[in-house]
Amino acid sequence: DADVTQTPRNRITKTGKRIMLECSQTKGHDRMYWYRQDPGLGLRLIYYSFDVKDINKGEISDGYSVSRQAQAKFSLSLESAIPNQTALYFCATSDSSEPADTQYFGPGTRLTVL
């Protein structure tokens, strides 16, 4: 089984809908991250969490919210989806005992907002 899983893998929705993307990990890591990637570009950090009670905004948090339900689960919500949120979304984890840059990524969720 994969260490970092994301559901759904693909989602098509309409403008104005609320969408939740879920991430689960079995690596036992305390840190989790959400990124988005637009075609031909690098990843941009949306939110990150260093433990269950710690939530921090990243570079592009506007229009998004997150919830860290447990150490192993970190969900990303789009309260009212808009077309420019169409992108590939990645969840990642890392462990505080390792250099924080050693992140392990899930397979990604491809979101299309019509």
Partner 1 sequence: GQSLEQPSEVTAVEGAIVQINCTYQTSGFYGLSWYQQHDGGAPTFLSYNALDGLEETGRFSSFLSRSDSYGYLLLQELQMKDSASYFCVADNYGQNFVFGPGTRLSVLP
Name the residues that contact partner 1, by CB under 8 A: 33, 35, 40-45, 48, 56, 58-59, 90, 99-108
Spatial CB neighbours of 14, under 8 Å, sequence gap ≥ 6: 81, 113, 114
The minimum distance between CB 17 and partner 1, in angstroms, equals 25
Q: Shortest approach of partner 1 to residue 31 CB, angstroms?
A: 9
> Cα angle at 48 between 44 and 54, to 5 degrees?
160
Nearest CB to partner 1, comparing residues 8 and 16: 8
Nearer to partner 1, 75 or 94 (CB): 94
Nearer residue to partner 1 within complex by CB, 74 or 90: 90
CB of 59 to partner 1, least distance (A): 7
Q: Say whether the peptide bond before residue 8 is cis (omega within 30 degrees of 0).
A: yes
Residue among 61, 66, 68 nearest 76 (CA)? 66
Cα Rg for the chain, rounded, in angstroms? Answer: 13
Smallest separation (angstroms) from partner 1 to the CB of 18: 26
Residue 20 or 45: which CB sits closer to partner 1?
A: 45
Q: What is residue 14's three-state secondary structure?
A: coil
